[in-house]
Structure 1
Amino acid sequence: MSDTLESLRAEYQTLREKGLALDLTRGKPSAAQLDLANGLLDIPLSTDHRDTAGTDLRNYGGTDGLVELREIFSELLGIPVPQLLAGGNASLQKMHDTVVELLLHGTPGGEPWVGKDIAFLCPSPGYDRHFAITQALGIRMISVPYLEDGSLDLPAIEKHLADSAVRGMWIVPMYANPTGSTVDEATARALVAMPAAAPDFRIFWDNAYALHHLTDDEPAPIDILGLAAEAGNPDRVFVFASTSKITHAGAGVAFFASSPANIAWHKKNASVQTIGPDKLTQLRHARFFGDAEGVRAHMRKHRALLAPKFAIVDRVLSERLTGHATWTKPTGGYFVTLNAPARTASRAVELAKSIGVAVTPAGAAFPYGDDPRDSVIRIAPSMPPEAELEQAIEALCVCVLLAEAELAVSR
């Protein structure tokens, strides 16, 4: 083992001397992906700024969002137009505001959550920005580990729902961040039908990657609102989505959907916050895509850029870490989850940082940053060019192997 350790240290030192500056942190679209939507910037609105009903979109109003765009995403997301609102550019902001609305106002007919012991279920590893919202707002988080096959632990969730303090649950149902797992219909039916001690229990269904396929298989999103209504719990689910990784991340459109009662509740709360979203941006999107098939065709262009990067990650990990670690092989989304040997993830990320390879902090995919095994490393392949991506994954592999070798020697 000492020979292996010395060899890895030498390889690591060679990497240090290269002066790398590589980034595997956040799942940002690459410049090439952003270029795919540059046509948005060329759509003239100076003389044609009205919707099909003739409304001048430069003015106040239209709080539900542009109906033409909602019709396109209604088809894509499987949600009735009246239950789908289009807003600003950030679905994360909409999630934050929805939690705040619950704290201040409670659900329709319910009491405000503020001042109470409120807990959210957090399937883990999960999306760090979800966990940041609940932590910042003082909501207790309960980690619910995924099962070995990547599915949700339904018995554990059902057990937690017997506690009336559990009022919410985060979930990315398609190509989850960071595992890439997808909720099947049986699981979705179980989630909306489970008895809950809290009558105002809400599922935050973040469909961030519903259209982000990496293969020819393009499954449609589950009709979670229809399933919830069928189960007798129509108000249980809030759905979120956006164009952030479809067009321009900083100038897109976010969507919020729920039951008719929840939509009315949200519109009443939001009426004191806004007199209407950026409808000109929404108009550009509607004209750029034309229809739902236009969005699908656009996303296939994204796939052509992304799929080779995911293939690079899998190839390099297979060459260097087979027998040492495991990793996911997602069919959609933006992330690969690397399961390093237990008690090595933090050290591997530290080693990577020291040679100029930025990786999301170990533990970030868990509530309070606490990965009980210190094993999960999230890889975001989308941003770097392919040559830089390969370099970064090669370097990360060396760091994982070195951390493993150091741990073995220390025992």
Structure 2
Amino acid sequence: MMKYTEMTARQRQAEYDAVLADYEKQKALGLKLNMARGKPSTEQLNMVMDMCSVLVKPEDFVSDGIDSRNYGNVDGLPAAKALFADILGCKPEQCFVGGNASLQLMYDAISKAYTHGLLHSEKPWSKLEKVKWLCPAPGYDRHFKVTQTFGAELITVPMTADGPDMDRVEELIQDPAVKGMWNVPKYSNPEGVVYSDETIRRIASMKPAAPDFMLMWDNAYCIHEFEGDFVPFADILSLCAEYGNADMVYEFASTSKVTFPGAGVSVMATSEANLAYLKPIINIQTIGYDKINQLRHVKYLKNKEHTLALMQRHAAILRPKFHTVLDALDREIAPLGIGTWKRPMGGYFVSYDAMPGTAKRALALCKEAGVTMTGAGATFPYGEDPRDSNIRIAPSLPPVEELQQAIAIFCICVKLAALEKLGV
């Protein structure tokens, strides 16, 4: 195969005619395939069904003398706090265990900043003239939408192979209106970047002008390898405390891709001082989260070692799916010089960078052919990719057979979009 940019106009036209014919054949099949969201597959969900039967007798529902069926313990069962502390490497007293969604805890933390202010806030953020927020990109669309919903001005920070561009971050946090930054430090969504030790230390030692700066540390994929052994990660709470920033960090995680996404358990880990401030406020909106589900997870997952063993079983299901996508890109796209992509070792996504100016067109063609994907631009603040290039691929949900069909159509569509851009 020859690179498209090295072809003559006649060669490109012949290639376009051939690829278009393939596209029309695929479109005629009337397929309905989905690579839009990082959902666990039915096989993964079936694998953890045993968790539903760990609580049977009345005494099973009691933990540390607490009846999980009753009101109370707004910050979670002690056993659940201990489980998450074991996984994250922090202390149980730093953990607030909530419901099924870590995104809800993130939204709630930022909501409290706007309605009440944080521990070190001069006033609620809703009373401020301007709130700015740092968004490493490509990044997670739902993160960006949370802060956008509250009216914060989103500032894009470029992602590097080691994490956010820290020179840029350190420059921006000198503005007291900059109140926080999103982070996915391990297997970032969508690029699969693992923050380097140097980047993490620079983040932990930051001295923002805003005394109530929120370091939002979404450790969503902290134990989610699908290639190789488990990669240890730093306890960001201890590091921040070491640099005098104990109250700056809010770490989040959940069992969404460990057990059931719709019925998992989430955690917010932060300083004891932050929790002492936030707990009474949260306790007004809820008497407590679902402690039965918390206890169910404690009894099923047991500890970090047992949970990591479960994650290897997830990895065995995910690995061939990621290989299906990456092998197709290597085979169909790499020789043509029309795109680049990262080779993640964990997480739930493949980040594909198409020829600039072609992502929207490629995804429109995919949709016409029956393949649903995350919208172009979603990985950037306000849904606007300045290069119209980045595409997030989510291989986890479809069976391998469907995934092979979907990625074949995707490759055809990015070829067509590139050829159109080059002029045919």
TM-score category of the 2 structures, normalised to the smaller one: over 0.9
Q: Answer whether contact 1:289 1:295 (CA < 8 A) is retained.
A: yes
Q: Deviations over 1:306-344 (max 9, x none)?
A: 011111111000011102211111011000001111100
Q: Answer whether contact 1:362 1:371 (CA < 8 A) is retained.
A: yes
Letter in 1 for 2:363: V
1:5 match: 16
Q: Are 2:210 and 1:193 equivalent residues in the alignment?
A: no
Q: Are 2:382 and 1:371 equivalent residues in the alignment?
A: no
Q: Are 2:34 and 1:20 equivalent residues in the alignment?
A: no
TM-superposed CA distance for 1:150, in Å, is 5.1
How far apart in 1 are the matches of 2:162 and 2:386? 17
Q: Are 2:261 and 1:249 equivalent residues in the alignment?
A: yes
Deviates more, 1:260-269 or 1:75-84: 260-269
Root mean square deviation of aligned Cα: 1.2
Q: 2:148 aligns with which of 102, 123, 135?
A: 135
Q: Answer whether contact 1:49 1:58 (CA < 8 A) is retained.
A: no
Letter in 1 for 2:326: D
SS in 2 for 1:23: strand
Q: Are 2:293 and 1:281 equivalent residues in the alignment?
A: yes
Q: Answer whether contact 1:104 1:112 (CA < 8 A) is retained.
A: yes
TM-superposed CA distance for 1:46, in Å, is 4.3
Q: Deviations over 1:239-282 (max 9, x none)?
A: 01000110011111010110111111221220101111111111
SS in 2 for 1:48: helix
1:152 match: 164
How far apart in 2 are the matches of 1:109 and 1:400? 49
Letter in 1 for 2:125: W
Q: Answer whether contact 2:120 2:211 (CA < 8 A) is retained.
A: no
TM-superposed CA distance for 1:54, in Å, is 2.4
Q: 2:133 aligns with which of 97, 105, 120?
A: 120
Letter in 2 for 1:137: F
SS in 2 for 1:120: strand
2:232 match: 220
SS in 2 for 1:145: strand
Letter in 1 for 2:42: A
Q: Answer whether contact 1:49 1:280 (CA < 8 A) is retained.
A: no
SS in 1 for 2:61: coil
Q: Answer whether contact 1:27 1:334 (CA < 8 A) is retained.
A: yes
Q: Answer whether contact 1:345 1:374 (CA < 8 A) is retained.
A: yes
Q: Are 2:367 and 1:353 equivalent residues in the alignment?
A: yes
Q: Answer whether contact 1:118 1:165 (CA < 8 A) is retained.
A: yes
Which residues of 2 match residues 52-91 of structure 1 at below 5 A? 52-91=63-102
Q: Answer whether contact 2:358 2:389 (CA < 8 A) is retained.
A: yes
SS in 2 for 1:271: helix
Which residues of 2 match residues 200-239 of structure 1 at below 5 A? 200-239=212-251
SS in 2 for 1:142: strand
Which TM-score applies when normalising by structure 1? 0.97
Q: Are 2:395 and 1:393 equivalent residues in the alignment?
A: no
Q: Answer whether contact 2:87 2:303 (CA < 8 A) is retained.
A: no
How far apart in 2 are the matches of 1:21 and 1:247? 27
Q: Residue 320 and residue 150 in structure 1: after superposition, are their counterparts in 2 closer, same or farther (change >3 A)?
A: farther
Q: Are 2:174 and 1:162 equivalent residues in the alignment?
A: yes
Q: Answer whether contact 1:19 1:356 (CA < 8 A) is retained.
A: yes
Deviates more, 1:205-214 or 1:283-292: 283-292
Q: Residue 276 and residue 49 in structure 1: after superposition, are their counterparts in 2 closer, same or farther (change >3 A)?
A: farther
Instruction: State how many pairs are aligned.
Output: 409
Which residues of 2 match residues 171-182 of structure 1 at below 5 A? 171-182=183-194
TM-superposed CA distance for 1:162, in Å, is 1.2
How far apart in 1 are the matches of 2:194 and 2:271? 23
Deviates more, 1:349-358 or 1:292-301: 292-301
Q: Deviations over 1:388-411 (max 9, x none)?
A: 01110110010000000011116x
Q: Answer whether contact 2:162 2:199 (CA < 8 A) is retained.
A: no
How far apart in 1 are the matches of 2:225 and 2:62? 31
Q: Answer whether contact 1:49 1:56 (CA < 8 A) is retained.
A: no
2:106 match: 95
How far apart in 2 are the matches of 1:366 and 1:317? 23
How far apart in 1 are the matches of 2:172 and 2:208? 9
SS in 2 for 1:204: strand
Q: Answer whether contact 2:63 2:77 (CA < 8 A) is retained.
A: no
SS in 2 for 1:108: coil
SS in 1 for 2:179: strand
Q: Residue 395 and residue 81 in structure 1: after superposition, are their counterparts in 2 closer, same or farther (change >3 A)?
A: same
Q: Answer whether contact 1:49 1:57 (CA < 8 A) is retained.
A: no
How far apart in 1 are the matches of 2:199 and 2:84? 24
Letter in 2 for 1:277: Y
SS in 2 for 1:114: helix
Q: Residue 283 and residue 151 in structure 1: after superposition, are their counterparts in 2 closer, same or farther (change >3 A)?
A: closer
Letter in 1 for 2:47: L
Which residues of 2 match residues 300-319 of structure 1 at below 5 A? 300-319=312-331
Deviates more, 1:257-266 or 1:351-360: 257-266
Q: Answer whether contact 2:63 2:295 (CA < 8 A) is retained.
A: no
Structure 2: 5+ residue runs without aligned partners?
1-11
Letter in 1 for 2:45: L
TM-superposed CA distance for 1:234, in Å, is 0.9
Letter in 2 for 1:82: E
Letter in 1 for 2:151: G
2:358 match: 344
Letter in 1 for 2:56: L
Q: Are 2:341 and 1:330 equivalent residues in the alignment?
A: no
TM-superposed CA distance for 1:292, in Å, is 2.0
Q: Answer whether contact 2:97 2:265 (CA < 8 A) is retained.
A: yes
